[in-house]
């Protein structure tokens, strides 16, 4: 900690710093609350995506019981071709957003495979999309957690270090400068009495 200069300029600087800390603290707290709210919404979205994915996977077996036939090869029927991500701003933190997902269905002979393979391919395409969206949302949670940790550290720095230290400095400067002023007044009065006693 740098040594405190005991003068009025330093007192003015400390008061200015305290006012600035108090001005920034509410905006940091607002940012923290916004990040926490967005994190909660993202967690709910992930849970909904996972539920929907589970329903789709379970629904494939229920809607197409013929999948139990191991004689028909469905491996590689639907594959993820590409994903294009964008970004959005959440309280100053950039988070990924899925802009486009392309799932490729492998070509297969319509006459060589049963009719229900079309429905299976469509359901698999939906499941792959849901999985990608859930993974991107999980990455969003990671980024929001990192931003939340940084904002919380800053708030703690202001609340627990900078503001108390600045208040203590202002109190100390007030006491020292007050003592110096009283001492100057007393010295002036003593000097005046000595001049009066010495005469003209």
Three-state SS string over 36-61 comes to HHHHHHHHHHHHHHHHHHHHHHHHHH
**Which domains does the chain carry?**
8-191 (1.10.287.3240)
User: Per DSSP, which regions of 91-166 are E strands?
Assistant: 93-105
Which span out of 2-6, 35-39, 99-103 was modeled with the highest average pLDDT? 35-39
CA geometry: angle 61, 66, 72, nearest 5 deg: 115
Q: What is the value of pTM for the model shown?
A: 0.78
Residue that the structure tokens 């701003």 belong to? 89
Question: Which pLDDT band, with edges at 50, 70 and 90, does 171 fall under?
Answer: very high
Question: Which pLDDT band, with edges at 50, 70 and 90, does 18 fall under?
Answer: very high
Three-state SS string over 168-189 comes to HHHHHHHHHHHHHHHHHHHHHH
Query: pLDDT, tens digit, for every residue of 86-98?
Result: 999 999 999 999 9
Cα-only R_g, the chain? 35
Looking at per-residue pLDDT, the higher value among 13 and 122 belongs to: 13
Query: pLDDT, tens digit, for every residue of 58-73?
Result: 877 676 665 655 555 6
What pLDDT score was predicted for residue 59?
77
Query: pLDDT, tens digit, for every residue of 172-196?
Result: 999 999 899 898 888 888 988 888 8
What pLDDT score was predicted for residue 116?
67
What pLDDT score was predicted for residue 6?
82
In the structure encoding, which two tokens stand for residue 134, read together? 């859930």
CA geometry: angle 196, 197, 199, nearest 5 deg: 65
């Amino acid at each position: 900690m740098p040594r405190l200069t005991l003068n009025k300029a330093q007192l003015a600087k400390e008061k200015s710093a305290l006012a600035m800390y108090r001005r920034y603290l509410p905006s940091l707290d607002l940012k923290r609350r916004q990040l926490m709210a967005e994190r909660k919404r993202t967690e709910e979205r992930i849970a909904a995506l996972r539920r929907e994915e589970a329903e789709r996977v379970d629904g494939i077996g229920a809607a197409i019981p013929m999948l139990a036939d191991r004689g028909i090869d469905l491996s590689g029927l639907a594959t993820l071709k590409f994903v294009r991500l964008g970004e959005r701003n959440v309280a100053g933190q950039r988070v990924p957003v899925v802009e486009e997902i392309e799932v490729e269905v492998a070509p297969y002979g319509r006459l060589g495979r049963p009719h229900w393979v079309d429905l299976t391919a469509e359901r698999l395409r939906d499941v792959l999309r849901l999985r990608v969206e859930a993974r991107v949302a999980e990455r969003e949670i990671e980024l929001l957690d990192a931003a939340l940790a940084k904002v919380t550290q800053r708030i703690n720095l202001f609340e627990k270090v900078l503001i108390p230290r600045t208040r203590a400095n202002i109190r100390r400067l007030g006491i020292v400068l007050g003592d110096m002023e009283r001492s100057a007044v007393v010295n002036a009065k003593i000097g005046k009495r000595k001049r009066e006693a010495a005469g003209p």
